[in-house]
């Protein structure tokens, strides 16, 4: 049995690849750049692009299961979902686990309309989003963000991968849409305090106005529609964004990982890596 992991070099996909590999499964990692993929020994790396699914027929034909990531697409453009899912049906893929952002797009609709076995995973914010703070912490010991009291039950990427692997390898997950969260809802203030505590360094939080936040994103050439989406997400978070749910523990048997654990495992080393 071969399992295709799309987005294999990403924050979630890399965890999925590593977990499947440790479990002794045959893994095919899809990436746009084979030379920089740096996959575990024994993982087959193939070059491809979900935005051109017609080039993936030979890959889909050789796999039985697919982990399909739709979040963080090319400039947030919708993937050609109908073509991807049609290709999976034509090549007799047994099951697809889809990771999505909560905004139902072309892939999610196509997979629901198909005859495929599928599971959909709907996580909230990723803990890795705080990696955007590395440069300012390293240089100044400062985090600058708007909406300091905005709550997020953000999730460790390894927990998303744990759930994804279970849905790929176990029965009983067909047709399910799982909402995923971390074990606690934290404000931006609290996130910064945790990083400060773990690093044993005084890190200052400076709260930006909405105007300042918009200006910063505009200087980074972020499209206006994406700026609006980010501002709305944090200014008026949906209930789902800050609601803690037990799904990770229910499916995996272990509690969701904390932000403090994530900081120890990833953030602190990246800040120190000059």
Q: Which of 233, 250, 232, 230 is nearest to 241 (CA)?
A: 233
Q: How confident is the model over 36-57, as a mean pLDDT?
A: 89
Contact between 28 and 67 under an 8 Å Cβ cutoff? The reply is no
Q: Which fold has domain 125-155+182-242+257-274?
A: Rossmann fold (3.40.50)
Q: What is the DSSP letter of 144?
A: E
Helix (H, G, I), strand (E, B) or coil at 174: coil
| 216-241 pLDDT tens trace | 999 998 889 889 988 988 888 889 89
What mean pLDDT comes out for the span 81-100? 95
User: Which DSSP state fits 6?
Assistant: S
Q: What is the third-level CATH fold of 2-123? A: Rossmann fold (3.40.50)
Q: Give the C-alpha separation, 209 to 145, whole Å.
A: 8
CATH 3.40.50.720 segments of the chain: 2-123, 125-155+182-242+257-274
Percent of the chain at pLDDT > 70 equals: 96
Say which residue, 152 or 268, is predicted with more confidence: 152
Radius of gyration of the chain (CA): 19
Q: What is the rounded end-to-end Cα distance, in angstroms, of the chain? A: 41
């Amino acid at each position: 049995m071969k399992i295709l992991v799309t987005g294999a070099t990403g924050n979630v996909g890399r965890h999925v690849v590593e977990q499947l590999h440790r479990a002794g499964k045959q893994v095919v990692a899809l990436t746009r750049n084979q030379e920089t993929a740096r996959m575990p020994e024994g993982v087959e790396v193939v070059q491809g692009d979900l935005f051109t699914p017609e080039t993936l027929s030979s890959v889909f034909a050789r796999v039985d299961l697919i982990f399909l990531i739709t979040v963080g697409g090319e400039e947030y453009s919708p993937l050609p979902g109908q073509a991807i899912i049609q290709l999976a049906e034509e090549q007799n893929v047994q099951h697809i686990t889809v990771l999505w952002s909560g905004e139902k797009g072309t892939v999610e609709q196509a997979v629901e309309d198909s005859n495929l076995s599928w599971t959909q995973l709907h996580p909230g914010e990723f803990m890795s989003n705080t990696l955007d703070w590395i440069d300012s912490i390293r240089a100044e010991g400062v985090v600058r963000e708007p909406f300091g009291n905005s709550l997020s039950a953000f999730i460790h990427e390894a927990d998303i991968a744990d759930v994804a692997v279970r849905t790929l390898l176990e029965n009983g997950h067909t047709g399910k849409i799982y909402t995923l969260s971390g074990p606690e809802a934290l404000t931006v203030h609290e996130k910064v305090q945790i990083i400060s505590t773990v690093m044993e360094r005084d890190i200052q939080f400076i709260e930006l106005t909405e105007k300042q936040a918009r200006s910063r994103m505009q200087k980074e050439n972020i499209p206006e529609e994406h700026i609006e989406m980010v501002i709305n997400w944090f200014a008026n978070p949906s209930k789902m964004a800050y609601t803690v749910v037990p799904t990770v523990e229910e499916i995996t048997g272990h509690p969701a990982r904390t932000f403090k654990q994530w900081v120890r495992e990833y953030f602190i080393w990246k800040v120190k890596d000059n």
